[in-house]
Structure 1
């Protein structure tokens, strides 16, 4: 028990040290207007360099990432069917799939899956 506690403390201390070193090294020492501008050639830009970003594209990308992670969570369920209790496996997988279907229905109902907007 003491070994686990000691290992936990060591891991937390190493994590804190690495985060502190990363935050110290990531600071920019000199903030120059030309260095912060999107064009570093020395000319002032004639118009904004920021293009408008499509919110619909962003929502579709987030939905894709969410369902991609869900597929990665569903695949091991198929592998462990031989090693687990059938009732527990069925209950767990059905609850997970029901949550996914409810989330998909909610996104569909809110109009997040409409491509023609």
Structure 2
């Protein structure tokens, strides 16, 4: 137990420093941050989503989709990097497998582009005509 603690103290110190830094940044931002209650405070910001009650998150789901696409294609880049390191060991069979992998990625990207998932549009703006009572 003592040897493990001796080996892990830098990680524990880093973890404690990180928590203290996060708490400090949040406190400083709450003290120094703006507190305005003007006309535009509760209006939709950029994405067109109306806030619900006291919700402060005002960005649309298409930003979330971009984040997911980035993570997916970033992970595939990691797989291709691992293939590039071992290209001599895997030979022609590994090269064909990498080409199939890239082809699957391209088909997925073309599909996303075809259905319009990559285009930023005002999908979430509620028009006044759809909110009127009939």
Tell me which interval the TM-score lies in, with the shorter structure as reference length.
0.5 to 0.7
Provide the alpha-carbon RMSD of the alignment.
1.7
Partner of 2:63: 57
C-alpha distance in structure 1 between counterparts of 2:98 and 2:115, whole Å:
26
C-alpha distance in structure 2 between counterparts of 1:49 and 1:70, whole Å:
39
C-alpha distance in structure 2 between counterparts of 1:49 and 1:67, whole Å:
35
Q: Which runs of 5+ in 2 are unaligned?
A: 1-51, 123-134
Taking the TM superposition and a 5 Å limit, the aligned residue runs for 1:1-117 are: 48-50=53-55, 51-86=57-92, 88-117=93-122
Give me the TM-score of the superposition, normalised by structure 2.
0.48
> Deviations 1:87-110 (Å, cap 9, x if unpaired)?
x11211111001000000000001
C-alpha distance in structure 1 between counterparts of 2:114 and 2:90, whole Å:
36
Aligned residues: 70
Give me the TM-score of the superposition, normalised by structure 1.
0.54
C-alpha distance in structure 2 between counterparts of 1:67 and 1:85, whole Å:
24
What's the CA shift for 1:54?
0.4
What's the CA shift for 1:49?
2.2
Q: Which runs of 5+ in 1 are unaligned?
A: 1-46
